[in-house]
Each structure stands twice: as C-alpha cells, then as structure tokens.
C-alpha cells in the first residue's frame, strides 16, 4: 500500500476500523472509505471522524470508514490506489488529482454564503508598506507550495502587477520567500516581524490574536478561488456516490448543521460544479503544475 | 477547510485584553510543562495537581491521553528522572527535569525530521518540534527578543528547506540540507546553552526564561499567562442582564455615573497583577451580573464556575494558604442581598468592592468616584423576571401542579429544621432570603471546635440557571439540594415529595427569558459595540470636568476592548472602520495626556459622529 504508514496513520487506521465495526446492521459489506487531511490536531480529527462517519453510515446504509492521511498528496495517492473512495481536498490538489487520476468533484464547501474565497497579501499596519511594489527586496511567508490561497493566488497578484515575471521568478523580486507550513504560521511570522508580508487565505488574519488582528492589514486580494472540495475516485460506484452526496447535502438542514463542525466547519455544502475549477486549472498550468 | 483552524490556532503570548482568544492546542508534554510552571508558583504547592498534569490530559485537552502515555507512545525520552523528582516533591528538580524533557523532545523530533525519507514526514516532525518550542517561547521573547527573532526565522527556514513531495510529483521542491543544518544549529545551540543543561540555577519563580538570562541576574518580567486547561471565556449561552433603569426606559447614556461603573465592571485596568495583564475584570466571573459557569483556572478552580480569589496567583500578599475555591455567586438583585460575601462578612457593598479590587485582584486603591460608580451600577442589577411568581413570592396558577404541591412542602415546618420551614430562611416575600447567616452544616470546620460555618442565605431566584449549588458548588442540581436537606436534616420526605419540592425550586428559580438572544444581526459584537460606545459617552461628563485620571482609565479600557472585540465581528468588511474608531478614541487619550483639551474634544466629537455612521454595520 502506497500510503506511508507511520505511527500516527497506523493509529488512525486502527481507530477507523473500530468505527466501522461499531456501525450497526450495515446493509452492505463494502465500506465507503473517507480520507481526511489534518488541518489541525490529528488526534482531535479522529474523534470528529468517528462522529461524522457514524452519521453518514446511518444515512447511507453502508459502513463508512474514515482515516487521516499525512497530507493532500497522501490522500490523492489513497484515491489512486483505491485505499480511499472519497477525500476532502483543496482546489489545487483536486485539479492535480483530476488530471492525474481522473478524480471527480462532488461537493464544495460554503463559507459566508459563497463556495469561494480569496487569497490576500497581509502586512503589519505600522510597516509603511502600502502596495505590492513596496515589497521589493522584502521577505514574505507563504503557507505551502501546494496551496491556492496560501501561495499561487497571492503570488499571481505580484505577476499581475508586473513585479514578478512569472512562476519561479519570485526570488528575484523578494528578499526571501518562505513556506511557513500553514496560514497560521505564515501570519504569525508576519505579525511577529519575522517577515514583512504573508500570503494567505482572506480569513487568515482571524488566526491571529485579537490585538494582532488590529495590527495587520491586507494590501492585495486575489480573484475568487473555488473553496475546498469533496472529491471521489473515478471508479466509485455511481449509486454509492450519489447516496453520499445526498447525505452530505442533508448537512445543510437545520437539524444536522451541528455536524458541520466535525467537517472542518464550513457553513454548508453545494454540489460541485466542475467548470468552477477552470481558473484553478489555468493557474496550475501557468505555474507548471499541470501539463 | 478554510476556517478549519480558526477556532484553535491562536497562540497567545504576552498580555491580552478583554476579548480572550482560544489557544492553539498544546501538545500533551508541552501542556504538562506549562502546567508545572504555573502550579509550581502556587503556595502551598499543589503536588497532587503536578502529578496529574503529567498523568492525565488537562481539562478540555484535544488529546485523549495524558503526557506520560503520549510520551510512551511517541518518544524514547526517559521520563523516570521527572517522575522521581515529582515523587520526592523536589520543586527545583521537577523544573529541571521537565525543562530538559521538553528540550530533548524538540531535539528528538528534529532528529526525526533529518532522518525522514518522506518530506511530509519530515515536515510533520519539524511542526511538532516547533509546537514543543512554544513551551519556552514566552521566556525567550521576554529575556532576549533578538534571539527570539533569530530562532523564529530558523523555524521558518527549517520548514521551507525541508522540501515537499508535491501532489503526485507536481509542485515538488527539493530538500536543502545545508539550509536545514544551518537552521537547526541556531535552534539546537540555543537549547544546549539554555535548556539542555546539567544544572539549572535555583528558581524562585518557575518560568521558561533561558538559563543564560537567569544567570545574568537581570530583572526580567515574563508576561503572566494562564496554563493549558484555563478558560476565561464568557459562558454560552450568555446570561441576560436586567438593569432596573433600562427596564424603565431610561437611557444609560443619561446616567454617566452608572455608565462609568458599567465600564469599570468590564475593565481589567482597575485590577493589578496578573488579572490586569490577562484581561480579567468583574464581568469575567460575573457575566452580565450573573455567573460564569465555564470559568476555570488550574490550581485556583476545583471545578468550572468556581475560583479561589485569595490564593497565590492573583495577589500573593492576600494568599490565605487555604484551598477554598468558591462557586461564583450571581449578583442579580444585589441591592436586596446584603450583607456581602458568602458569609456576609461585609455589610457594605462599597467595602466589599474595594476588597475585591485591592486585596483579591491586587489593584491600586480605587478613587471614591470609581467606588461610587461601581456601586451605582451594581445596585441596578435586578432579578430575572419570572411571571409564574407573584410580587410576594407565591406561585401563580400557571405553575405546574407538582410545583404547587412543592410550595406546601416548602412552607411546612420540620422537626429536623427546628420546627422551621424552608421558607423561614428563604422568605418568599423577601426575595427568598432573610439576610442572615446560618450554619446548616454545609461547611467542614477548619479546625476542631471551629464555629465558622455560617453562610448567608442565598436567594432562590434565578437559580435554575446557576448550577452547581452551595458555596463550594458541591451539589450539581436542585434535586440534589433537596436530597441533601432531606438526608442531613431528617426531613423524611417521600420520593414524590422530594420531586414536588424540586419542581417548586425549579419553578421559583426559573425566568421568562434567562439568556441574551443573539441572531445574525444582533450579534455579540453589536452588544459589545453598544456597551463600549455607551461607556465612552461618559466623556460628555468627564471632558468638561477635565478629569484626566478617569478619562484615561476609560479610554485605556474602551479603546483596547473595541479593537480587540472587532475580531469577533461577523461583518468582516467593517472591521477596519472599528479599528479606526478605536484609534479615534485613543487620540482623545493622547490629547488628554498632552493636556490639549481642545484637541481631545475635537477627537471626541469625531468619534461620536463616526460611531453613529458605523453603528448600523457593527455586527
């Protein structure tokens, strides 16, 4: 099996096994397997997974297993190998998975009324930095090289502004370019003065303390980015797939909304529109991530 | 996933103001270490809690296992020296072993990052090491800001140079071994010099200061912090505040003394010591004049909603060295509930209030104006309306039958109560209290022969929402209170009678509308905005009086709170306007400090008109 098994994913898989065993009177032997990406504490995610997979199993009538992968790449690998049927994913890794293994988008997360968000370039308000051009020779922290709102889209703003010639050319404009490991780390690095700017999700300043939030501002905002997406491996049984989507859509109902907090906390889900990802595919091509 | 980490990712260091932010989860061993630093400064030292800190997950931990089990699973670091030091109750040794343990864990994770084949595995180890480093971070930042920056950059560098496998090969970046080595050297050298040492100099105060800084003999203040497991958020749902003047349709902005007292009730500035730095105010425990069922501070709280305000943490000189946390009492109907304090030790609310500020929370002596304002405000606290009760405390016909049967039992004399009834002390036509202290046997004597167990009769009004019960919160429900009296006073009630009496208490203790109603538009921020602008309105009185002292106290509280509370807005687009408004108020303060009263008044006028414009979008 291609997922690199380590202490923690082993544990996750063991835990998930217990979840599926505990699911009563399933109508079908084949379990639906869900891959989750750790966004925060993987230990907490295990508890969340137990709650949501239990509910989904009741709704769909088949056992539902959930497990935590080490990152997006491992989740895509799991879809390719058939170790996972469905995964929660960012838009950029999704378009890569779509191109490589034919992954299918099922559902998009909704935040504050829209299945999209933006990336922003944040600075400290007292830095005197007001435009992207002011960042010439300065240091910037992005979240991760495979991040749409935490790298590609904010960087594209510099390209649009004619400051960075293109992907791979960022070092020529900036002093240093760091990948901090996540939105929060990139924002902290900026707020604490380790770097001059951070490229991150439009909501990333909410990851700072209330006082820090008052001390930062954003100077550029990207075009809308499709929000995170729930995707399926191409060979997944069509009936099972549509039952899963129908069950997930019921999370939008008032009585079920509480369950959303076990799923990265969106405001709800809409059925995914494959055309909505054209901009991301484009961006991935421009950055040489897609052929 | 966009907002997934929002609730948990905040890393708090340094002083915070009135809007607490939820902390990022601590790794179990880092949490235990921070608890040891905190508990190790209490006197007497709670050794049992120190043991628990390592053995069990802290309160509200997101990790299901304690630090020892976690380390057993995740690490090869030897925990025996730490356990041995704990068994010996050797404070300095516990500090030394725990500090070394965290440093060793950082090194262990860094070793794993360097040895890992997969970039994702290496990244995770770097992240874990970075999270462990957080246990030392406030000490380094306080002692050596330059080193803190250097190490912060090293973590960034390490994360960037560890490389990424991309997705199915796309977007892969190579590992830069040289950069990794250089970054690691920065971190490991600092640890070796300051935290991974054989012998630490004796510590009077336990904190995460680097050894070299301690050896230098410089006086270094580490900003106070609360340990993992602490919770100073307001309770949810938020109690509804019933103010007498407001119910009569009088506007608080027309009552400047009351409005100033309202501000002080929400101000951490009137306290000193750690309470001020941590943003703890009267309202932190008494949410909206009532209680805070979730408040918890390790070592000071024995359970949520309780706190020992004369322990070692808030004001060491007032430490009574008795582990006697009290369940937070409601302040509703305060003008009817004197004398004050659980045992009625203060006849005067003013004396009680001064004691809270100066002794319990280490504040400076309040001015007469401040005490007048606080008392004026608190005397407006009314009980929650309860339409099932008549004005003289009798049940109306709308009350459930069981409660009506319970009312008879409540008024029935019992031999076990000295031929008195429940109603003898909880007098229905006197707000269900008698303003007397009685020893009902609920307090364990402090020493043999002690006659110190008499406590003030508490009201029963509003008690349906203030569980748990008794001075120490030892009884979880009103039913358990009934059972307690039945057993200890030999009331010999039948099961049905106990249920009826409980139904009566629940009916008397109920309210028509106990909680603040919030919706999409009427948000907690809108409430905060309305409050803060009301507080500021006292400037209309204070500016003409040229009362610089009280103006600055107000502005230091309100400007900071306004900016901090903006982080809770759902209307994110309007946040910059609120920040600008907070700055406008700070300008008033700056002008007053410069004794430029004309400028102060101009800024205040600008504040008022800008606040009016923003008001609609303040949600």
DSSP string spanning B379-444?
TTB-PPP-TTB-TTS-B-TTS-HHHHHHHHHHTS-BGGGTTB-HHHHS-GGGTT--S-EE--S-S-
Residue B612 has pLDDT above 70, yes or no: yes
Residues B67 and B194 in one domain: yes
To the nearest whole angstrom, how far is the Cα of A27 from the nearest Cα of chain B?
A: 31
What integer pLDDT is reported at residue A40 of this predicted model?
62
Q: What is the pLDDT of residue A81?
A: 92
Does residue B1 form part of some domain?
no
The mean pLDDT value for B508-513 works out to 98
Q: Is residue B7 part of a domain?
A: no
Q: What dihedral angle (degrees, nearest 10) is formed by the CA atoms of B428, B434, B438, B442?
A: 50
Cα distances (Å, whole numbers) of residue B319 to B143, B316, B359, B453, B553: 28, 5, 9, 20, 27
CA B37, B40, B43, B48 dihedral sign is positive
* Judgement on whether residues B544 and B492 belong to the same structural domain of the protein: no
Most confident of A54-68, A259-273, B160-174, B363-377: B363-377
What's the mean pLDDT in B552-570? 95
Least confident residue range of A41-55, A144-158, B405-419, B429-443:
A41-55
Cβ contact B1–A43 (<8 Å): no
* Interchain proximity B10–A209, CB inside 8 Å: yes
Residue B169, pLDDT score: 81
In a domain, B227, yes or no: no
Work out the mean pLDDT of chain A and round it to a whole number. Answer: 87
Q: What is the pLDDT of residues B196-236, one digit of tens each?
A: 999 999 999 999 999 999 999 999 999 999 999 999 999 99
pLDDT of residue B261: 98
Tell me, yes or no, whether B407 and B322 share the same domain: no
Tell me, what's the pLDDT at B167? 85
Q: What span, in angstroms and rounded, lies between the C-alpha atoms of A18 and B379? A: 57
Q: What pLDDT is stored for residue B270 in this prediction?
A: 98
Same domain membership, residue B558 and residue B456: no
User: Which two three-digit tokens encode residue B407?
Assistant: 């009312």
Name the packing angle between helices B91-115 and B28-39 (round to 10°).
160
Same domain as B365, residue B332: yes
**Which of B171, B226, B519, B575 is the best mutation test for A, with the most CBs of A within 10 A?**
B171
> What does the DSSP assignment read for B284-311?
HHSGGGS--TT-B-TTT-SSTTEE-TTS
Residue B506, pLDDT > 50, answer yes
**Average pLDDT of B414-420?**
97
Q: Is the pLDDT of residue A21 over 70?
A: no
Q: What is the mean pLDDT of residues A248-275?
A: 92
* Residue B567 shares a structural domain with residue B599: yes
How would you classify the pairing of strands A140-142 and A197-201?
A: parallel
Are B442 and B489 part of one and the same domain?
yes
**Residue-wise pLDDT tens digits, B82-141:** 999 999 999 999 999 999 999 999 999 999 999 999 898 999 999 999 999 999 999 999
Looking at residue B361, which CATH number applies to its domain?
1.10.760
Does any domain span residue B23? no
Cis peptide before B237 (omega within 30 of 0): yes
- Supply the mean pLDDT for chain B: 94
Q: Which residues of A touch B147 (CB under 8 A)?
A: none
| Section B579-594 average pLDDT | 97
- Judge whether residue A164 has pLDDT over 50: yes
The pLDDT score that the predictor gives to residue A41 is 66
Taking the Cβ of residue A73 and every Cβ of chain B, the question of whether any pair is shorter than 8 Å is answered with yes
Do B353 and B312 share a domain, yes or no?
Answer: yes
**Can you give the pLDDT at residue A29?**
52
| Sign of the alpha-carbon dihedral angle for A20, A25, A26, A28 | positive
Query: Is there a cis peptide before residue B468, judged by omega within 30 degrees of 0?
Result: yes
Structural domain span for residue B368: 244-378
Start-to-end Cα distance in chain A: 27
Query: Considering only alpha carbons, which residue of chain B is nearest residue A228?
Result: B1
Q: Domain end: B508, B532, B560, which one?
A: B508
**Hey, what are B442's tokens?**
């609920």
Minimal C-alpha gap between B152 and chain A (Å): 7
Residue B442 near residue B450 (C-beta atoms within 8 A): no
State pTM to two decimals.
Answer: 0.92
Res. B15: pLDDT tops 50? no
Q: Is the residue at B223 inside a domain?
A: no
In chain B, the number of structural domains is: 4
Of the pLDDT bands very low, low, confident and very high (cuts 50, 70, 90), residue A42 is low
Supply B188's token pair. 């490991």
Determine whether the interchain pair B1/A7 forms a contact, defined as Cβ–Cβ distance below 8 Å.
no
Max Cα separation, chain A?
A: 64
Q: How far apart are CA B557 and CA B579, in angstroms?
A: 14
Q: Please state the ipTM of this predicted complex.
A: 0.90
- Other C-beta atoms lying within 10 Å of the C-beta of residue B261: 27
Q: Quickly state the pLDDT bin for B20 (edges 50, 70, 90).
A: low
Cα separation, B433 vs B470, in Å, equals 14
Other C-beta atoms lying within 10 Å of the C-beta of residue B114: 17
Domain boundary among B479, B508, B537: B508
Together in a domain, B412 and B437 = yes
A-chain CB neighbours of B24 within 8 Å are 184
Tell how strand A229-232 and strand A86-89 pair up.
Answer: antiparallel
* C-alpha span between A66 and A60 (Å, rounded): 14
A contacts of B4 (beta carbons < 8 Å): 39-40, 264-265
Going along chain A from its start, the domains and CATH numbers come out as 7-114+227-286 (3.40.190.10), 119-223 (3.40.190.10)
Q: Are residues B130 and B178 both part of a single domain?
A: yes
Q: What are phi and psi of B573, to 5 degrees?
A: -65, -25
Does B519 map to a domain? no
Structure confidence at residue A290 (pLDDT)? 87
Length of chain B: 619
Judge whether B517 lies within some domain. no
Question: Which of B130, B167, B174, B558 is the best residue to mutate to test the A interface, defined by the most A CB atoms within 10 Å of its own CB?
Answer: B167
Q: Of A180, A259, A205, whose CA–CA distance to B576 is shortest?
A: A205
With a CB-CB cutoff of 8 Å, which residues 197-216 of chain A face chain B?
A: 201, 203, 206-211, 213-214
Q: Which residue of B has its CA nearest to A195?
A: B153
**Percent above pLDDT 70 for chain B:** 96
Q: Are residues B285 and B191 in the same domain?
A: no
Clarify whether residues B492 and B413 are in a common domain. yes
> Which of the listed residues B378, B409, B430 is the one where a domain comes to its end?
B378
Q: Is B466 left (phi over 0), alpha (psi -120 to 50) or beta?
A: alpha
**Residue B238 belongs to some domain of the structure:** no
Measured between CB atoms, does B160 come within 8 Å of chain A? Answer: yes
Cβ pair A96:B11 closer than 8 A? no
HSE (side-chain half, CA atoms, 13 Å) at B386: 28
The band of B19, judged by pLDDT with boundaries at 50, 70 and 90, is: low
């Amino acid at each position: 099996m291609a997922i690199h098994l380590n202490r923690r994913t082993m544990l996750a898989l063991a835990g998930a096994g217990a979840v599926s065993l505990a699911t009563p009177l399933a109508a079908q032997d084949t379990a639906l397997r869900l891959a989750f990406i750790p966004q925060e504490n993987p230990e907490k995610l295990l508890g969340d997974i137990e709650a949501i997979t239990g509910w989904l199993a009741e709704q769909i009538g088949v056992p539902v297993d959930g497990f935590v992968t080490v990152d997006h790449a491992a989740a895509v690998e799991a879809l390719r190998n058939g170790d996972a049927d469905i995964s929660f994913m960012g838009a950029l890794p999704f378009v890569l998975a779509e191109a490589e293994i034919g992954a299918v988008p099922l559902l998009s997360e909704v935040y504050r009324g829209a299945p999209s968000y933006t990336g922003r370039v944040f600075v400290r308000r007292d830095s005197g930095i007001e435009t992207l051009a002011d960042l010439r020779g300065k240091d910037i922290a992005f979240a991760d090289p495979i991040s749409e709102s935490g790298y590609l889209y904010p960087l594209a703003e510099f390209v649009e502004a004619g400051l960075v010639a293109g992907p791979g050319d960022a070092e020529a404009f900036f002093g240093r370019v760091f990948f901090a490991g996540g939105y929060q780390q990139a924002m902290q690095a900026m707020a604490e003065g380790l770097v001059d700017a951070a490229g991150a999700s439009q909501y990333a300043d909410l990851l700072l303390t209330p006082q820090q939030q008052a001390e930062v501002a954003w100077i550029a905002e990207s075009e809308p980015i499709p929000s995170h997406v729930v995707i399926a491996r191409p060979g997944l049984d069509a009936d099972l797939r549509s039952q899963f989507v129908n069950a997930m859509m019921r999370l939008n109902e008032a009585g079920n909304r509480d369950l959303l907090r076990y799923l990265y906390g969106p405001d709800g889900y809409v059925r995914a529109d494959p055309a909505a990802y054209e901009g991301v595919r484009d961006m991935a091509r421009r950055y040489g991530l897609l052929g | 996933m966009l907002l997934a980490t929002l609730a948990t990712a905040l890393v708090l260091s340094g002083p915070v103001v009135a809007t607490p932010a939820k902390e990022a989860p601590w790794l179990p061993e880092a949490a235990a270490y921070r608890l040891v630093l905190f508990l190790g400064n209490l006197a007497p030292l709670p050794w049992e809690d120190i043991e628990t800190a390592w053995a069990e997950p802290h309160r509200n931990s997101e990790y299901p296992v304690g630090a020892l089990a976690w380390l057993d699973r995740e690490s090869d670091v030897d925990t025996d020296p730490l356990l041995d030091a704990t068994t010996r109750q050797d404070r300095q040794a516990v500090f030394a072993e725990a500090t070394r343990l965290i440093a060793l864990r950082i090194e262990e994770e860094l070793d794993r990052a360097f040895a890992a084949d997969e970039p994702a595995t290496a990244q995770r180890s770097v992240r874990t090491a970075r999270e462990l480093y957080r246990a030392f971070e406030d000490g380094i930042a306080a002692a050596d800001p330059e080193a803190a920056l250097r190490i912060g950059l090293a973590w960034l560098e390490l994360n960037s140079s560890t490389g990424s496998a991309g997705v199915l090969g796309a977007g892969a970046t190579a590992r830069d071994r040289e950069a990794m080595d250089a970054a690691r050297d920065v971190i490991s050298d600092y640890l070796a010099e300051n935290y991974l040492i054989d012998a630490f100099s004796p510590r009077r105060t336990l904190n995460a200061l680097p050894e070299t800084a301690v050896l230098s003999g410089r006086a270094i203040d580490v900003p106070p912090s609360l340990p993992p497991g602490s919770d100073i958020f307001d309770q949810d749902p938020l109690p509804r505040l019933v103010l007498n003047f407001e119910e009569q349709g009088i506007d608080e902005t027309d009552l400047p003394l009351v409005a100033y007292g309202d501000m002080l009730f929400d101000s951490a500035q009137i306290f000193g010591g750690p309470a001020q730095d941590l943003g703890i105010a009267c309202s932190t425990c008494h949410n909206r004049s009532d209680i805070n069922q979730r408040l918890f501070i390790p070592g000071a709280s024995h359970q949520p909603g309780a706190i020992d305000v004369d322990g070692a943490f808030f004001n060491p000189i007032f430490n009574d060295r008795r582990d006697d946390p009290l369940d937070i009492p409601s302040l509703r109907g305060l003008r009817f509930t004197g004398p004050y304090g659980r045992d009625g030790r203060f006849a005067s609310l003013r004396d009680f209030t001064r004691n809270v500020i100066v002794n319990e929370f280490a504040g400076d002596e309040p001015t007469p104006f401040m005490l007048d304002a606080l008392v004026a405000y608190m005397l407006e606290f009314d009980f929650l309306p309860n339409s099932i009760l008549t004005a003289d405390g009798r049940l109306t016909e709308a009350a459930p039958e069981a409660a009506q049967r319970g009312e008879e039992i409540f008024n029935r004399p019992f031999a076990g109560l000295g031929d008195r009834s429940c109603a003898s002390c909880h007098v229905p036509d006197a707000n269900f209290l008698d303003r007397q202290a009685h020893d009902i046997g609920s307090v364990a004597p402090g020493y043999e022969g002690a006659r110190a167990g008499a406590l003030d009769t508490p009201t029963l009004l509003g008690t349906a929402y203030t569980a748990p019960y008794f001075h120490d919160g030892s009884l979880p429900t009103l039913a358990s209170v009934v059972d307690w009296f039945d057993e200890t006073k030999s009331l010999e009630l039948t099961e049905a009678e106990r249920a009826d009496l409980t139904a009566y208490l629940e009916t008397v203790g109920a309210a028509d509308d106990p909680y603040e109603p919030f919706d999409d538009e009427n948000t907690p921020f809108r409430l905060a905005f309305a409050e803060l602008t009301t507080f500021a309105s006292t400037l209309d009185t204070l500016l003409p009086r040229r009362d610089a002292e009280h103006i600055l106290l107000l502005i230091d509280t309100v400007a900071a709170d306004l900016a901090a509370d903006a982080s809770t807005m759902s209307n994110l687009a309007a946040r910059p306007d609120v920040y600008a408004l907070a700055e406008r108020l700070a300008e008033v303060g700056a002008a007053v400090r410069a004794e430029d009263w004309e400028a102060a008044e101009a800024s205040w006028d600008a504040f008022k008109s800008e606040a009016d414009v923003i008001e609609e979008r303040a949600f």
